[in-house]
Amino acid sequence: MSNALWRWPLLWISLLLISVVGMSTGEPLFHWIEPDARQVIYSRADFYVLLGRHLFVVGIAALVTISVGVSAGVAVTRKRGSDFLPLVGQVASLGQTFPPVAVLALAVPVLGFGTLPIIVALMLYGLLPIVRNTLTGLQEVDAELIATAHAMGMTPLQILHQVELPLAAPVILAGIRISVTINIATAALGATVGASNLGDPIISGIVNGNMAYVVQGALTIALLALSVDSLFEVLQRQLRSRLSAS
């Protein structure tokens, strides 16, 4: 069963590595897509370099968003912070009311061109699923379990760390999974503001009318998203199996 769980992640990761390292081997196929183009393999930067930059941007945004989203969800589900629950939900939703392109347009004059504007955009865009699932996961914890833990002499902090968060973890992880997977695709927009990543071949292909470049960038991003999503699927299943066994 354990080996079967890892089948899909290993497949997608293998295909991702093959595409990143051996993109040039697909030159005949890309010539078929763009028969009139003299150059069909994007060569301004190596794909493994672009992949590393892409993962860096998504990873930094994810770390900040997870920290802020989970902390906010925990804070407003406590008695002292319950009055702020509607406000936190509205603020988290606000990030997705603005398209990422609009966020970038507003951020560039303040933050300048480069990586920082796309990180800010990804943080705003990825916050809602994490906050929403953190709230849902914590609110769905059985009140009787919390009361029992309290009767056993556990402190509120111990109840949070040893009862509530472990039980809510699968739901919270589902929100993180949605947030990160969406942002892997959204991060490609960073190429429009000077943040070099896997969006570079797509933007270059659009500007130069070279669909081969577009396909290369889109294919690599899709394989990356599938790899990360399948890894989250494994983690979710393992969490559920541990909870059901305990």
15-39 pLDDT per residue, tens: 999 999 999 999 999 999 999 888 9
Sign of CA dihedral 34, 35, 39, 43: positive
Residue 44 three-state SS: coil
Residue in 228, 186, 225 with CA at minimum distance from that of residue 96: 186
Task: Please report the pLDDT score of residue 24 as a whole number.
Answer: 92
Phi, psi of 154, deg, nearest 5: -75, 140
pTM for the predicted model, two decimal places: 0.93
Give the pLDDT mean for 43-48.
94
Q: Is the pLDDT of residue 100 over 90?
A: no
Specify which of 53-57, 102-106, 149-153 reaches the highest per-range mean pLDDT: 53-57
Radius of gyration, alpha carbons of the chain: 21
Q: What pLDDT band is residue 91 in, cutting at 50, 70 and 90?
A: confident
Rounded mean pLDDT, 219-244: 93
The per-residue pLDDT for 2 is 62
pLDDT value at 1 more than 70: no
Taking each helix axis from N to C end, the angle separating 100-111 and 115-139, rounded to the nearest 10 degrees, works out to 130
Q: How confident is the model at residue 94 (pLDDT cuts 50, 70, 90)?
A: confident
Within 10 angstroms of residue 226's Cβ, the number of other Cβ atoms is 19
d(CA 230, CA 223): 10
pLDDT of 189 strictly over 90: yes
Place of tokens 């270059």: 204
| pLDDT at site 45 | 94
pLDDT of 246 > 90? The answer is: no
pLDDT of 224 over the 90 cut: yes
Tokens of 189: 């927009």
User: Which phi-psi region, left, alpha or beta, contains residue 39 (left: φ > 0; alpha: ψ -120 to 50)?
Assistant: beta
66-70, 88-92, 154-158: segment of lowest average pLDDT:
88-92
Can you tell me the mean pLDDT for 111-135?
92
- pLDDT confidence tier of residue 110, bands split at 50, 70 and 90: confident
d(CA 157, CA 163): 10
pLDDT at 133 over 90: yes
Return the biggest CA–CA distance within the chain: 75
Contact 19, 219 (CB under 8 A): yes
Among the ranges given (103-112, 125-134, 172-181, 193-202), the one the predictor scored with the smallest mean pLDDT: 103-112
Is the pLDDT reported for residue 98 higher than 90? no
Mean pLDDT of the chain: 92
pLDDT number for residue 97: 78
Phi/psi of residue 53, each to 5°? -65, -40
Cβ contacts of 187 within 8 Å, gap of 6 or more: 54, 57, 58, 61, 118, 122, 197, 198, 199
